[in-house]
Structure 1
Amino acid sequence: MIPQIATVRVQSRPDRHLRLWIPLLPIYLILTPVLFLIIIGGAVACARYRINPIRALTAGAQMLAGLGGLHIDIKAHHSNIMIKLA
């Protein structure tokens, strides 16, 4: 399933943190016009490198669907950042 919400948690000190829930559907809708350019670029790249465009599209869709449940933890000095896609 394509991720629909991103949870971002930033902790700068043990007693202070910020948590944001970001819906991804509006971001997908905003980026829809760019999709046309990506399709043209992908078609040119497939023709240039002789790749089957159906297999490339399938692999891209599987990669996007596989992002659900992604969990990223970043720890640097006194700050912790957690990003979770659901």
Structure 2
Amino acid sequence: MIPQLVTVRHRRPNGRRLRLYIPVLPVLLALSPLLLLAVSAGLVACLTFRVSPVGALRGAGRLLWALPGTRVEFEQGRTAVLVSVR
């Protein structure tokens, strides 16, 4: 399943909290011209380094499918950032 929503929580040093909800599909559609450029650059890199483009695409797909449920937390002093993928 492709991730639907990325939640970013940020606790500032002064104790105030900021929560951002980022929907994946609209962002992906807005950045689709850059995605096309990135895919073509990845294809050129695969051919340059003699890596199977199908295998690289399969690995990227598996990574994308494994993202839902991922939580990444960073904390330094009184500042904290939590990124949650649903």
**Pair in the same fold by TM > 0.5:** yes
Residue aligned with 1:58, SS: helix
1:23 is displaced (CA, Å) by: 1.1
Residue in 2 aligned with 1:39? 39
Q: CA deviation at 1:39?
A: 2.3
- Aligned identity (percent) is 37
**1:18 paired residue number:** 18
1:17-57 CA distance string (max 9 Å, x none): 22222211111111111122122212211211111111111
TM-score (norm 1): 0.84
RMSD: 1.4
- How many residue pairs end up in the alignment? 84
Structure 2 spans left out of the alignment, 5+ residues: none
- In the alignment, the residues of structure 2 paired with residue 39 and residue 17 of structure 1 have an alpha-carbon distance, to the nearest angstrom, of 36
SS at match of 2:34: helix
> Superposition pairs for residues 1-86 of structure 1, below 5 Å?
1-12=1-12, 13=15, 16-86=16-86
Q: Secondary structure at the match of 1:10?
A: strand
Structure 1 unmatched runs, 5+: none
Which runs of structure 1 show a deviation greater than 6 angstroms over 4 or more consecutive aligned residues?
Answer: none
